[in-house]
Structure 1
Amino acid sequence: MPDLSVVIPTLNEEQHLPHLLDDLSRQQSIQLEVVVADGGSSDTTRSVAEQYSARVVESAAGRGRQMNAGARAASASMLLFVHADSRIPDPRQLEQALRVLGWCSRQTGGGMVAGHFSLRFIGSAADRRAFRFLEAKTRLNREQTISGDQGLLLLRRSFEELGGFDESLPFLEDQRLAELIWRSATWLLLPGVIETSARRFAREGITERMILNMLIMALFSLGENRCLAGIHSLYREQSVTGPPDLARVFRRLNRELHRRPALEWPTLWTRVGRYAAANLWQLNLAGGGPRYGTFSADSYHGRHWTGTTLHRFSRSALAAMFGAFVSLVWFYGAWARYEIRRLMRGETAPRP
């Protein structure tokens, strides 16, 4: 019986998968089972997996569906979900992660515990400042800072009790599971780093990708699933061709807003303002956040955020009102900026 089953969702990952499988083959003091859950690759992904003696499971496309299928096929009592473009550079990283997770579980009296790693982006040196900010967020045990890129380690029993990954939307399955874990379990920052490809940022543009991520996470937090589905359909159309058409995304969101009765607009923007105020803590990461390799990162916020003037302000009604105003101005200002860019390129406006 393996100590750990590693589940990797894939779709045309012949370039990245061999590097991850190499890293897994070098892991020491641990017996691994590797399950590649393929969503219908048209390249050599499946044959690459078989060359490394990984078990290949075929599934309908969709990361949540694929990882659920991989979990059902796995045989170990511990599961690690990791993306195909990840690297695990330390040969003892997974053995140490299991040991730390077991220790934490014992400390909580056998309670449900899930772990994630911090991230290091593999990308252009010119984008290091933005990457440092994103990396710092992964070293915090805060809501909405944990994603599938960081790996997800937990007991199979816990995964099944949580209901697995949500398959109702073709993305954000990691955020939905992370939210369930926040409600009923303990999140643990594991020792070690997962290196991840910055290919999305390189292809789409780092600013454009960060804006799109911000919009998606705001809609997710506000429960705006209809808007999320619309954004995903646009993004899926554009993702193979280059940067997301943010003018079209803003246009779609504005159309959804104007479908609502005008009396609902103040309530909606107040909710947006509360969300913006609740995320003021991100301004506190200018110094880079907690160091790599610590699994007590919760204490960072206790020292550098909780009780500060900005923290107290973020919890006030004034902050929500200010956040609503700033968000409104930013939304229409950013939309205008990307529409002007489109016009300067001589493009006509497509349907939203």
Structure 2
Amino acid sequence: MGREDCCYNQAMSEAPFISAIVPTLNEESCIEECLERLELAGVEELIVVDGGSADRTRELARKRADKVLVEPGGVFSQMNRGAWEAEGEVFLFQYADGLLSEAACVEIREALETPGIVGGAFRLRLDRPGLFYRAVSFCADWRNRLGFGPFGDQSIFVRAEIFRGEGGFPPAGTLPDHELVRTLGRRGCFRLLREPVLVSARRWERCGKWRTLLRHWRLSALYLAGLRRSRGAIIRGTEGLRKVR
């Protein structure tokens, strides 16, 4: 798979087999609902990759998941491990504190019918009321449209052959999820779907709203600073990022 343009035209089956990979760490409060939603959405294979939970996450996951694996290397190592074990034609990377609608797999399959689409993600919606959280969701939409993102909490999906061909999520870096999207953008187009993923705002509440926002800005700044150190990287990166549509 050596082509690096927006012309990935390999035909898939009419209803491609979707494997959902769910990384977890102490998620007993939400893992069951997450997996139930994925089943209702039409996911054919559920793989939970646990990072070493001290609670009942693995026990609860086994009630619904096809495979429950253990991978202590961090969230992106967990998702890579799940992908290598998955059998689907499409990988859906779903965080345990996110909930997809029943139409999610329909939208994924419709998007992948378009020639050149290698993957995509869902719009971010936080589950708390209030102007601050609505503003975060609104800004996330525009950030994606401007070419920065999507990120892992937006339920990224990708054709399995493309993901494996690119080696999965980078093993290190400031934003491995965004780096994967940037890389995939050079292989084809990334589609931002209409349906949102409803994401828990618990981390914002626990760590503080403004502190969490500043942390996100800091990581983004570090990532962009790293790109600028490489000659021409910003130009090449932008070419890939602008294929989010």
Q: Does the TM-score normalized on the shorter chain lie above 0.5?
A: yes
Distance 1:137 1:50, change over 3 A: same
Residue 7 (structure 1) aligned with residue 21 (structure 2)? yes
Greater strand fraction, Structure 1 or Structure 2? 2
The residue identity in structure 1 corresponding to 2:105 is L
Structure 1 residues 16 and 79 mapped into 2: Cα distance closer, same or farther (>3 Å)?
A: same
State the superposition RMSD in angstroms: 2.6
Amino acid at match of 1:148: G
3-state secondary structure, aligned to 1:183? coil
Matched, 1:166 2:170: yes
Please give the alpha-carbon distance, in whole angstroms, between the structure 1 residues aligned to 2:43 and 2:226.
41
Q: Which residue of 2 aligns with 1:342?
A: none
Q: Assess if the C-alpha contact under 8 Å between 1:120 and 1:193 holds in 2.
A: yes
Q: Which runs of 5+ in 2 are unaligned?
A: 1-14
For residue 208 of structure 1, what is the aligned residue in structure 2? 211
User: What is the aligned partner in structure 2 of residue 182 from structure 1?
Assistant: 185
Task: Say yes or no: does 1:86 pair with 2:86.
Answer: no
Alpha-carbon deviation of 1:134? 3.3
Distance change (3 Å), C-alpha of 1:127 and 1:71: same
Measured after TM superposition, the shift of residue 150 of structure 1 is 0.7
In the other structure, the counterpart of 2:119 is 114
Give 1:142's match in structure 2, choosing from 134, 140, 146. Answer: 146
- Report the structure number with the largest CA radius of gyration: 1
Shift of 1:142: 3.3
What is the aligned length?
A: 220
- Sequence identity (%): 29
1:60 counterpart letter in structure 2 = P
Higher-helix-fraction structure = 1
* TM-fit CA distance, 1:124: 3.9
Query: Which residue does 2:11 correspond to in 1?
Result: none
Runs of 4+ in 1 over 4 A off after TM superposition: none
* Of 88, 93, 100, the match for 2:111: 100
- 1:243 corresponding residue in structure 2: none
If asked which structure has higher relative contact order (CA below 8 Å, sep 6+), I would say 2
Q: TM-score, normalised by structure 2?
A: 0.81
Q: CA deviation at 1:204?
A: 1.6
Alignment check: 8 A CA contact 1:3 1:77 kept? yes
1:220 matches 2:223 = yes
By how many angstroms is 1:207 displaced?
1.5
Question: Partners in 1 of 2:169 and 2:203 — Cα distance?
Answer: 23
Matches within 5 A, 1:1-352: 3-27=17-41, 30=42, 32-88=44-100, 90-102=101-113, 104-105=114-115, 108=116, 113-125=118-130, 127-137=132-142, 140-169=144-173, 172-223=175-226, 298=245
**1:143 alignment partner AA:** G
